Amino acid sequence: MITIWIKSCLVAFVLMMTTTGLEAGNEVDTAREAVYPALVNIAVVGTQYQNGRLRRFPAAGSGVIVSPEGHVLTNFHVAGETTRITCTLPDGRSFQAEPLVLDPLTDLAVLQLQVGDDEAALPFARLGDSESLQVGDDVLAMGNPMTLSSSMTRGIVANPHRVFTSFTGAEMEETDLGGGQRTGIFTRWIQHDALILGGNSGGPLVNLEGQVVGINDRGGSGMSFAIPSNIAADVLSEALEHGEVRRGWFGLSFKPVDKMDDQQGALITWVVEGGPAHEAGLQAGDILTEVDGESIHVSTFEEIPPLLKRMADIKPGTSASLSWTRLVPDATADETGRKSDRESMTATLTAAPLEQYLGEQSVIDPWGITVQDVTIQMALARKYQDANGVMITGVRPGRPGEKAQPSLQRGDVIIAVDGQDIQQLVEFESLMKSITPGTKSLVNFRRGEAEMLTVVETTGERQTRRGGSELAKAWLGIETQVLTRPVAESLGLGKTMGFRVTRIYPDSEAQAAGLQRGDIITAVDGKSLRASRSQDASRLTRRIEAMPVGEPVELTIIRNKEELILPVALEGTPPGTNEADEAECESLEFGVRDQVYMDSIKNRWEHGLEGVIVTSVENGGWASLAGLASGDLLVSLNDLPVTDTASFKAAIDQIEQDQPAVVKAFVHRGYRTTFVFMEPDWLD
């Protein structure tokens, strides 16, 4: 009977597990079908201001369509600093996208797909309530890891309200997107273990009901973190209604009150000088108890992000009532030495706009520098006296900013040019447009605590460099090897000394005179060549170079063991690369030079092949991004023949005038030919 009972239990257990597995499988199918079609693979051309210029690079991430009109949610660190965004759906359709809102404070971005004439309906996913998530809930992470498009992993929620603190738990750690750009100040992250890798950023985290409950942001070591969908919903709503995310700022920082006698409220740790809270009289050590009549209770670090968001939700220009308590100066201490008497205070404050941490950047090409707007947050972090001016973020070698005496440096803050004060980037850009090439400008700038002056000369368009000509020396147009004693003996020439011809250059006077490979040159104009050791290799060259160009010489040669006299006219040394004309294309960021005689010899190109040699390709430029390489022989641009630097410049002038979406370059590279397609953003 016991055996029968055990078997019955096992059968029931197996049936129960099978049913549970089928139910779970059906839930996954439902969730996948609801969101997966709306997943997008995002390919971008990223931008970075570096060393005085704008550098571009390819990057990729993920996103999800969240409206029938084609609005896409993704990360700011995927789509924020870019010049081109392409979104590809699982069904193969591909669209360009434009940023609608970029919000580094949450690391979120809202994009608008440019669907054009495509009339097919767009799939879209629905946002769920991230606050409903609990530890252990099943979730699916969808995205494009390592640029492998359209994948899905499964996991569970480990902590729906994760914040990052120091090792001792005494401070909240700041999360940074790089360069001092703070993010996540309003975020309690959803920690889960569904695998995400590079490229998953911006992809949806989905519950088994088929709702997006988070936007995946970062991961590693088996831990993944997503931005809650409730935060994403707020950003999306602001983007659609106002085209920006409006947030208020009071200039306050907080800690939990768990170490204080009063266990209600939030401990104010810092009041920014000049901010609304400072103007209202709040101080570090005060305890914030109410905001617009709503009680505040922060006893753990997990409760700080919601408080910061609550205050940021008070729109700029809106008044808010804040209540706080302050320790009474003459309060008596209890038996532990603590002073517990506090008085209550209330004030009405007007919210100021919450700025981004980092300002906009720009390239000032006439000076060869990149600059950035100084924000209040940057001024506070760097302890500047104010937020006026533009900060130099990079200086290009060899350009006017570096050549100035003293030279401009990264970190300098330009505060005036020719007596005109500079407060914002837009003013500086406008001023630079009015300065003509060749003008010398007096520049006031701050370096640390010092206020300095320098003079910068504005340059115009860089000109084509004309190659110089060197005094030509006589040249024979051959390559040789020393006839060493062992080689001479093996050829049956005994103790003969001289040079064996190993190569004859095409179209040379040596070729015209009938010199052949394998000839042994023993004398020049009757003077013997005493060469039998490797270190004698330069003797023939020196003998020839000492003779006048254009004069015939008589070479004594041995051919098939017979001595012959062969007259050869000496020609001048072919021009070298330093004598070739050069030209640059600023818009596509690469340089070229004319061919010289030795180029075709070195590369074994067919006789008469025309083109210019690519000499430089700026890392991160449009040419570099497309794959143009130094050493390529550029034959044509958009089917315009390029035979020399003059025709190259004419082709570039035409292309810059037409501003085509694609610039097609036909090149010879090594032993083959190929096309390079450059896709510049002419608005850069």
What CATH code is assigned to 248-328+342-353? Answer: 2.30.42.10
- What is the domain class of 577-678 according to CATH? mainly beta
Using CA atoms, how far apart are residues 566 and 504, in angstroms rounded to an integer? 15
Query: In the structure encoding, which two tokens stand for residue 22, read together?
Result: 């089928």
Distance CA(270)–CA(278), nearest Å, equals 10
Q: For 263-311, how does the pLDDT look when each residue is reduced to its tens digit (9 = 90+)?
A: 789 999 999 999 999 999 999 999 999 999 999 999 999 999 999 999 9
The Cα 192–Cα 190 span in angstroms is 6
Judging by beta carbons within 10 Å of its beta carbon (0-12, 13-18, 19+), is residue 498 exposed, middle or buried?
buried
Residue 5, SS3 per DSSP: helix
How far apart are the C-alpha atoms of 482 and 534, rounded to whole Å? 6
Confidence of residue 546 (pLDDT cuts 50, 70, 90): very high
Pick the closest to residue 169 from 254, 106, 253, 255 (CA basis).
Answer: 255
* Long-range Cβ contact pairs of 336-340 (< 8 A, separation 24 or more): 338/261, 340/261, 340/262
- E runs forming strands in 122-210: 126-127, 138-143, 151-162, 175-176, 182-183, 189-192, 204-207
Q: Under CATH, which number does the domain 361-457 receive?
A: 2.30.42.10
Contacts of 88 (CB under 8 A, 6+ apart): 40, 41, 43, 94, 149
CATH pick for 474-572 out of 1.10.1060.10, 2.30.42.10, 3.30.2130.10, 3.40.50.1820: 2.30.42.10
pLDDT digits (tens, 9 = 90+) for 144-199: 998 777 889 999 999 999 999 888 888 888 888 888 888 999 999 999 999 999 89
pLDDT at 336: 61
Work out the percent of the chain whose per-residue pLDDT is above 90: 78
pLDDT tens-place string over residues 191-236: 999 999 989 999 999 999 999 999 999 988 889 999 999 999 999 9
Query: For the chain, what are the domain ranges?
Result: 2-30, 37-242, 248-328+342-353, 361-457, 474-572, 577-678
Q: Which amino acid is it at 11? A: V
* Pair type for strands 527-528 and 520-524: antiparallel
Report the catalytic residues: 77, 107, 201
Alpha helix positions (H), 130-275: 229-242
State how far the alpha carbon of 109 is from the alpha carbons of 24, 151, 351, 440, in Å.
Answer: 33, 21, 24, 42
pLDDT at 10: 44
Q: Do domains 248-328+342-353 and 361-457 have the same CATH topology?
A: yes
Q: In this structure, are residues 194 and 160 in contact, taking their beta carbons and an 8 Å threshold?
A: no
Cross-strand partners of 47: 56
Structure tokens at 19: 């049913």
pTM recorded for the entire structure = 0.82
> By the 8 A CB rule, do 392 and 361 touch?
no
Q: Could you name the CATH architecture of 37-242? A: Beta Barrel (2.40)
Q: What is the pLDDT of residue 161?
A: 96
Q: If you average pLDDT over residues 674-680, what whole number do you get?
A: 96
pLDDT band of 260, cuts 50, 70, 90: confident
Residues in contact with 159: Cβ distance below 8 Å, sequence separation at least 6, in sequence order:
135, 190, 191
Q: Which of 445, 451, 519 is nearest to 481 (CA)?
A: 519
For residue 422, give both structure tokens: 């500079």
- Per cent of the chain over pLDDT 70 is 93
> If you compute the radius of gyration of the chain from its CA atoms, what whole number of angstroms results?
37
Q: How does the average pLDDT of the chain come out, rounded?
A: 91
Residue 247: CA count within 13 A, CB half-sphere: 21
CA neighbor of 637 nearest in space, from 645, 628, 648, 622? 648
